[in-house]
Amino acid sequence: MRDPEASGARGFPAFPARKGGRARGQSFWAAQWTQAVEDTWPEEEPLKKGRAFSRTGRIGPITVSAGRVAAEVYGGDAAHTTTLTLKAWDDDEWDLLWERTADRPAETEALLEGELPEDLLEAVEDARLRLLPGYGDLDADCDCDALDHPCPHATALSYQLSWLLDEDPWLLLLIRGRDTAQALDELKSVLLLRAMTATDDDNDIDADSDEPETQDQEPQETYESNREAYTRPAVALPALPPLPEPPASGGEPVTGIEADPLERLVADAAVRARELLAHIAGFGEAPAPPLDEWHDTVRIAATHPDPRVPARLREACTRPDDLDRAAEAWRTGGPAGLEVLEHPWTPSEQDTARARTALAAGWDDDLPPLAVDGNHWTLTGRGLQLRQGRDGRWYPYRDRSGIWWPAGPPDTDPAVALTELLGA
């Protein structure tokens, strides 16, 4: 179980003195916090003193952490340590809150967009938790020895916390034990698990209702049909069909398809399905669009371990003479490497000037003569070339019988890429 105290504390600079003005925060969550504090500590005199003290500028930097809000306060010549404490929720309570929140699409969407929606209070109530302080939940401690409890320093600190909530209401979750990143990660995990385990039955909607069906709302006819099926007498199973004749040894598979390519296709489909699922759940990037026939052919030729596969693809594809070079480009840089091979482009004059400067700065001796044509930088008379990719990387190429071939992995520094190309 995660220790609630392990959640990262956050520090905030002291507020300057305020002449007049309201001591209560203005936002929804600030107002909710202030109302809850005043309901918990209903005696007006300590609250009145606290409101006045909160505007004096005599409260030092504030630290907010799981279950605790603390600050140094200055009364006269003495400094006092003032602390507000609340109960931090345990792991089970947080899990229950995210389950209840995931039942509310609007609140879930707002949280994932970085907002703390007002209706989150309803999800908290559904989980039988208390986000705002209440009697027996909020306590104050200060070494000022004041007769009032809470003392004016503690009530002043609670009012200044409402000022912080005006800027960042997520501090309410931090006080209960989760910083923003932890809270969102846990909510996303619940959403992903639901997406992975969802069935068609979970998505059924009654024609006369906007609410999903639950088990206790199962239609009567379905129940009757199931009961009728279970009461039917058992019948004998049909005889098994005869086994097929085994294939001749050493021949091609009966289906004409080897198992290994099927395994790779299944693995590729699983990876893409996971990317789509993460994106649908709300926290994964949109997956890249499916590859077209040529790009997928190149990918398989470049990554398949069986040397017979490129030969078979070469026989079947529409560009057999280009496949080996394209596969080599894919091996060195993936889709971006293939883009550099097949699609020349012209960088801006500023990008070209910056590249020249980077080459000159990274070169100890005289820079070899280079002929620049668009994104192609060719070493004159050397049969070597660098190609600038749109991804900001530099791809080495070597002349083979009048055809430029990829010659190694790319580098973000053109000087490093040129050095390795000359060394090779």
- Domain coordinates of the chain in residue numbers? 4-89+129-178, 292-343, 345-423
One-letter amino acid of 253: P
pTM of the predicted model as reported, rounded to 2 decimal places: 0.50
Give tens-digit pLDDT for 84-116. 999 999 999 999 999 999 999 999 999 999 999
Q: Which residue has the higher pLDDT, 242 or 139?
A: 139
Place 212 in a pLDDT band, splitting at 50, 70 and 90: very low
Give the residue-averaged pLDDT of 329-358: 90
pLDDT at 206 over 50: no
pLDDT digits (tens, 9 = 90+) for 310-337: 888 888 888 999 999 999 999 999 899 9
Range among 6-20, 222-236, 336-350 rated most confident = 336-350
Q: Give me the pLDDT at residue 198, please.
A: 63
The string of pLDDT tens digits covering residues 215-268 is 444 445 554 555 666 667 777 878 877 877 765 655 554 444 454 566 767 777
Residue of 118, 153, 120 lying closest to 30 (CA atoms): 118
- Give the integer Cα–Cα distance in Å for 51 and 23: 6
Write down the pLDDT at residue 4: 40
Mean pLDDT of the chain: 83
pLDDT at 207: 43
Predicted local distance difference test score (pLDDT) of residue 254: 47
